[in-house]
């Protein structure tokens, strides 16, 4: 029997105060009184995508003038500016395989000397590693084993939101209709492949797009079981759907704060305690409440670039966030894109050069939370 049936009373529903208490105790025991974040720059390498999720404003159809692939100069300019602002992570985010669907994407890639977005992404990670001190984190959606092999030597970590395990959301009228990369089985396969290839990996749920609480719990159980098999899931994000005027789901209700707290606390209870639990601080003005539900991380926050996925939602000011955490007894600490437990196992999780780079951040005391975890 799954967690939902065992733990949620069919008559009275979930006992939120009890779940919050339990989740907070797990977080305090495993992660202490620190809430972390990664100081990053965001590079939207291409906003073209072969999928058309009903909640997405990031994607631009190739007919639109804004549809583009960033040039090496544009990537490097953002990376260098990020360095000036003290960023350590460069997050490459991109639409899924646009070259398989659109002539423009294929032609633009050819002008850049590449035939696939993954090949170009690898080249850009390489460039950033050669020219700057940043650590690439790759968010390129579903990946084959060969693609992971290509990208692993040039990145510190990778990620892909599972979002949901519910096939129903891919039916006609659903948010994932006609989105080949949002088929849950394809995303689960990517989580397994990343595990087999020992990639420190981030995943998570997007809540409020039409799934039930029971389906969210099934997705969390599936992530946890994959982590038990390989040990590579470094963090799980619970992200709330946010309404925007220019999306197909413009009239779809947003999940409430209580719904976020419920999902976060259940996630903290179900997931192995060594998986970091993250919620974005810019998608709710009441994000500080998430600490009550057992989160230990805010994810990437940029002092320079906007959240290109939710451009209307500004990042919180980092010192103001530190103060809000401090007011309730938690210390805000910077972390790197890859978590300490994956460091110093060079042949397993990180290639040697990336491992050395991560260690140099720790030794220079540029990222003090890593000192505490014995990186030397």
Q: Where are the alpha helices (DSSP H) in the chain?
A: 3-7, 16-31, 72-84, 103-111, 117-131, 145-151, 184-196, 213-230, 257-270, 318-327, 352-363
Nearer to ligand SF4, 59 or 124 (CB): 59
Closest distance between ligand SF4 and the C-beta of residue 138, in Å? Answer: 14
Q: Does 177 bind ligand SF4 (CB under 6 A)?
A: no
Nearer to ligand SF4, 61 or 196 (CB): 61
Q: Does 336 bind ligand SF4 (CB under 6 A)?
A: no
Q: Does 95 bind ligand SF4 (CB under 6 A)?
A: yes
Q: Does 49 bind ligand SF4 (CB under 6 A)?
A: yes
Closest distance between ligand SF4 and the C-beta of residue 246, in Å? Answer: 13
Candidates 20, 53, 135, 338; binder of ligand SF4 (CB under 6 A) is 53
161: which residues sit within 8 A by CB, 6+ positions away?
A: 187, 203, 204, 205, 206, 237, 239
Q: Does 209 bind ligand SF4 (CB under 6 A)?
A: no
Give residues 129-148 in contact with ligand SF4 (rule: CB under 6 A): 141
Nearer to ligand SF4, 153 or 180 (CB): 180
Looking at 1-9, 45-53, 146-154, 222-230, which segment touches ligand SF4 (CB under 6 A)? 45-53
Closest distance between ligand SF4 and the C-beta of residue 309, in Å? Answer: 8
Q: Does 59 bind ligand SF4 (CB under 6 A)?
A: yes
Candidates 8, 16, 22, 58; binder of ligand SF4 (CB under 6 A) is 58
The DSSP line for 304-348 is SS--TTSTTSPPPPHHHHHHHHHHTT-EEEEE-SS-GGGTT-TTT
Nearer to ligand SF4, 182 or 287 (CB): 182
Looking at 33-41, 44-52, 228-236, 323-331, which segment touches ligand SF4 (CB under 6 A)? 44-52
Contact 21, 239 (CB under 8 A): no
Main-chain phi, psi angles of 139, to 5 degrees: -125, 85
Contact 265, 293 (CB under 8 A): yes
21: which residues sit within 8 A by CB, 6+ positions away?
A: none
Looking at 54-62, 264-272, 351-359, 361-369, which segment touches ligand SF4 (CB under 6 A)? 54-62
Closest CA to 55 of 204, 211, 313, 247: 247
Closest distance between ligand SF4 and the C-beta of residue 161, in Å? Answer: 9
Closest distance between ligand SF4 and the C-beta of residue 141, in Å? Answer: 6
Q: Does 56 bind ligand SF4 (CB under 6 A)?
A: yes
| Cα gap 251→150, rounded to integer Å | 41
| Cα gap 300→307, rounded to integer Å | 10
The DSSP line for 175-218 is TTTT-GGG-HHHHHHHHHHHHHTT--EEEEEEESSS--HHHHHH
- State how far Cα 146 lies from the chain centre: 22
Q: Does 96 bind ligand SF4 (CB under 6 A)?
A: yes
β-sheet bridge partners, residue 211: none
Residues that bind ligand SF4 (CB under 6 A): 49, 51-53, 56, 58-59, 95-96, 141, 179, 181
């Amino acid at each position: 029997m799954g967690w939902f049936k065992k733990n949620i009373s069919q008559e009275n529903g979930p006992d939120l105060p009890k779940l919050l208490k339990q989740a907070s105790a797990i977080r305090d025991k495993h992660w202490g009184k620190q809430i972390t974040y990664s100081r990053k720059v965001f590079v939207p390498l291409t906003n073209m995508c072969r999928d058309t999720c009903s909640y997405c404003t990031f994607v631009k159809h190739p007919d639109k003038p804004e549809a583009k692939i960033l040039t090496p100069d544009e990537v490097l300019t953002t990376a260098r500016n990020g360095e000036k602002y003290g960023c350590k992570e460069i997050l490459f985010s991109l639409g899924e395989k646009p070259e398989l669907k659109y002539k423009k994407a294929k032609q633009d890639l050819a002008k850049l000397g590449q035939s696939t977005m993954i090949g170009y992404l690898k080249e850009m990670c390489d460039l950033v590693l050669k020219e700057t001190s940043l650590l690439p984190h790759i968010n390129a959606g579903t990946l084959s084993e060969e693609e992971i092999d290509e990208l692993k030597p040039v990145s510190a970590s990778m990620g892909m939101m599972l979002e949901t395990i519910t096939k129903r959301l891919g039916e006609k009228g659903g948010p994932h209709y006609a989105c080949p990369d949002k088929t849950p089985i394809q995303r689960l396969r990517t989580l397994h492949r990343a595990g087999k290839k020992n990639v420190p990996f981030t995943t998570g749920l997007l809540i409020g797009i039409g799934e039930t609480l029971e389906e969210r719990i099934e997705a969390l159980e599936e992530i946890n079981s994959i982590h038990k098999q390989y040990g590579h899931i470094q963090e799980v994000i619970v992200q709330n759907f946010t309404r925007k005027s220019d999306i197909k789901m413009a009239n779809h209700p947003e999940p409430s704060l209580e719904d976020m707290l419920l999902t976060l606390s259940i996630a903290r209870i179900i997931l192995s305690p060594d998986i970091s639990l993250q919620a974005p601080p810019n998608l709710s003005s009441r994000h500080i409440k998430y600490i009550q539900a057992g989160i230990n991380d805010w994810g990437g926050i940029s002092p320079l670039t906007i959240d290109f996925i939710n451009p209307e939602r500004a990042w919180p000011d980092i010192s103001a966030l530190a103060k809000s955490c401090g007011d309730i007894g938690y210390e805000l600490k910077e972390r790197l894109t890859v978590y300490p437990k994956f460091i110093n196992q060079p042949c397993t999780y990180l290639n040697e050069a990336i491992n050395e780079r991560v260690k140099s951040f720790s030794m220079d005391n540029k990222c003090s939370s890593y000192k505490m975890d014995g990186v030397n």
